[in-house]
Amino acid sequence: MFTPEPGFPLGDIPAAYAAERPDTVAVRCGDAELTWEQLHLASDAVARGLKRTGVERGHIVPLMLPNGVDVVVAAFACLRIGAVPQPLSTRLAPAEEEAILALSEPVTVVGPQEGAPVGDGRFRSTTVAVLRRLGSTEAALKTEVGPSWKAPTSGGSTGRPKIILSGAAGAFNPFDMEAWGLRPGERSLVTAPVHHNAPFSTAMTTLFNGGTVTLLARFDAERVLAEAERHAITWVYLVPTMMRRILALPGPVRARYDLSSLVSVWHCAEPCPPATKQAWIDWLGPERVWELYAGTEAQAGCTISGTEWLEHRGSVGRPAWGEIRIVGLDGTPVAEPGVPGEIYMRVAAGKPPAFRYLGAELHETDGWSTLGDIGEFDADGYLYLHDRRSDMLLVGGVNVYPAEIEGALTEHPHVLSSAVIGLPDPDRGNRVHAIVQIEEGRTTTPEEITAFLTTRLSPHKLPRSVELVTAPLRSDVGKLRRSALRAERLNGTVD
């Protein structure tokens, strides 16, 4: 039975599994599915098509494709010729799209429409179908191992976009498999858009290990349960926003589906409210609920099982790879447990760099760098998050962490999500303002929200104003663009 060894070219993965199990489904999305043989033939032809358009080893290839089998075909085609796949959203703001493509400097952009202008108009997209026809009669290719296997992006409307080139080459590396608890032959359900790093990484890693990936074209709470039962899913990727929406389904609806095949449900990308996590543990059992904390840079990270979480409620786990330390606001490393500070990370001694930025400068000292998160360790070495340093509010000389307030808000039964921001206050410096997304049709009032928080937060942390909305505050993968929400309110552009 084929099992890739470290260093095996990722571009040869489809051919290797096709030789062994040609008729086994590799990837599906909706009614479309590809067996390993079909994935091999399609990605091989698209790789030749990319070569004919001028793509060479090391080139970044933007994949502006929705969730579907095409994005997987295109990614493997890139890896086949040593190019670097860069999944991108099909709904980027024009300025963001232009900035990312200026950094990528692509020869070819793959999209859903042939000849569609992208970026500032200098580029025209081509499709997987056109590339496949273009490469259908070419001679066999020699596989090349690229310098990086993925090029996710970060930034956008909250800051200048940057590209985070993975430090791992286009060859098999067990790192992602171990970090995400993905076993060989896993049947994974990826519920979020693969233009984000974690969904892309886990989908591809499942395939690298000979598993089957089921992609959702878009998130639907009941569809997650239906697909899990239909395909005997063993591994699921979710974010806490999705977890809340699934919990919001009526009890009889959730009970309708057989989830006995599930081995692990993983969540990341945003803090998980304790009440939400507890509800999932009560439903599925603590051994099946897992959490990962890391940045896209992946120089270090933590994982925690539900069983551990019950003993260290609110923690994101102990370091699973790399090194993590807490640094006080005075710049001095914190040795004592229970003392908060900024979280710094670095790769383990002797390991190569985990990433390289394009479009940004890395600030580090002796390999240590920070994503700006504030947190603390307990006496057992478990990490607890407070908030981002950039999100911390100074209210009357006291530090207030929005994430703590948002965690209390999500315990309200009618609240779907929230964003806490600081608005100018002549007396206290900042006024705590809560933007609260409530369920459609609810008659919840700001006064009720304030009364609910009064028993859960100290007086100095209570929002001085509450704004109720029904539009989503987070993306499909739970990302909250807090600075954009604040700017809208400062500029008076809120509807």
Which residues lie closer than 8 Å to 94 by C-beta, 6 or more apart?
none
Predicted local distance difference test score (pLDDT) of residue 476: 61
SS3 186: coil
Q: Residue for token digits 């603390």? A: 376
Predicted local distance difference test score (pLDDT) of residue 480: 73
**pLDDT tens digits for range 283-310:** 999 999 999 999 899 999 999 999 999 9
Going by their DSSP bridges, the two strands 465-469 and 429-438 should be labelled as parallel
Provide the β-strand partners of residue 325. Answer: 344
Predicted local distance difference test score (pLDDT) of residue 157: 36
Give the separation between CA 103 and CA 99, rounded to whole angstroms: 7
User: In percent, how much of the chain has pLDDT > 70?
Assistant: 96
Pick 87 or 335 by higher pLDDT.
Answer: 87
**pLDDT tens digits for range 477-490:** 567 777 788 888 88
Looking at 231-307, which runs of residues are DSSP E strands? 235-238, 264-267, 289-294, 301-305
Contact between 457 and 402 under an 8 Å Cβ cutoff? The reply is no
User: Could you tell me the pTM of the whole model?
Assistant: 0.84
Predicted local distance difference test score (pLDDT) of residue 144: 97
Domains of the chain (ranges, CATH numbers): 10-241 (3.40.50.12780), 271-389 (2.30.38.10), 392-491 (3.30.300.30)
Confidence check: pLDDT of 159 > 70: no
Measured from the Cβ of residue 330, the count of other Cβ atoms closer than 10 Å reads: 7
Q: Given CA atoms 105, 110, 116, 119 in this order, what sign does their dihedral have?
A: negative
Residue 307 has φ and ψ, to the nearest 5°, of -65, -45
Pick 494 or 254 by higher pLDDT.
Answer: 254
The length of the chain is 495
**pLDDT tens digits for range 346-367:** 999 999 999 999 998 888 888 9
Confidence check: pLDDT of 156 > 50: no
**pLDDT tens digits for range 205-232:** 999 999 999 999 999 999 999 999 999 9
Reported as a pLDDT band with limits 50, 70 and 90, residue 155 is: low
Reported as a pLDDT band with limits 50, 70 and 90, residue 331 is: confident
Confidence check: pLDDT of 392 > 80: no
Most confident range (mean pLDDT) of 86-95, 386-395, 440-449 is: 440-449
Range in 74-83, 156-165, 202-211, 467-476 with the lowest mean pLDDT? 156-165
HSE, side-chain direction, 13 A CA sphere, residue 182: 31
Q: Which residues of 89-116 are buried (b: 16+ CB within 10 A; e: fewer)?
A: beebeeebbbbbbebbebebbbbeeeee
| Average pLDDT value for residue range 105-118 | 94
Mean of all residue pLDDT scores within the chain? 91
User: In percent, how much of the chain has pLDDT > 90?
Assistant: 70
Q: Residue for token digits 């929230």? A: 418
Going by their DSSP bridges, the two strands 212-215 and 25-29 should be labelled as parallel
Predicted local distance difference test score (pLDDT) of residue 68: 97
Give the separation between CA 392 and CA 340, rounded to whole angstroms: 13
Give the separation between CA 129 and CA 479, rounded to whole angstroms: 32
Predicted local distance difference test score (pLDDT) of residue 59: 98
82: left (phi over 0), alpha (psi -120 to 50) or beta: left
> How would you class 251 by CB atoms within 10 Å of its CB: exposed for 0-12, middle for 13-18, buried for 19 or more?
exposed
The first and second tokens of residue 234, run together, are 């063993």
SS3 396: coil
**pLDDT tens digits for range 170-214:** 999 999 999 999 999 999 999 999 999 999 999 999 999 999 999
Sheet holding 159-166, edge to edge: 153-156, 159-166, 355-358
Give the separation between CA 27 and CA 41, rounded to whole angstroms: 14
Confidence check: pLDDT of 390 > 80: no
Residue 191 has φ and ψ, to the nearest 5°, of -95, -10
Range in 74-78, 251-255, 408-412 with the lowest mean pLDDT? 408-412
Give the separation between CA 159 and CA 96, rounded to whole angstroms: 10
Predicted local distance difference test score (pLDDT) of residue 397: 59
The first and second tokens of residue 338, run together, are 């229970």
**pLDDT tens digits for range 395-416:** 765 678 787 888 889 889 899 8
Q: Residue for token digits 């919990």? A: 247
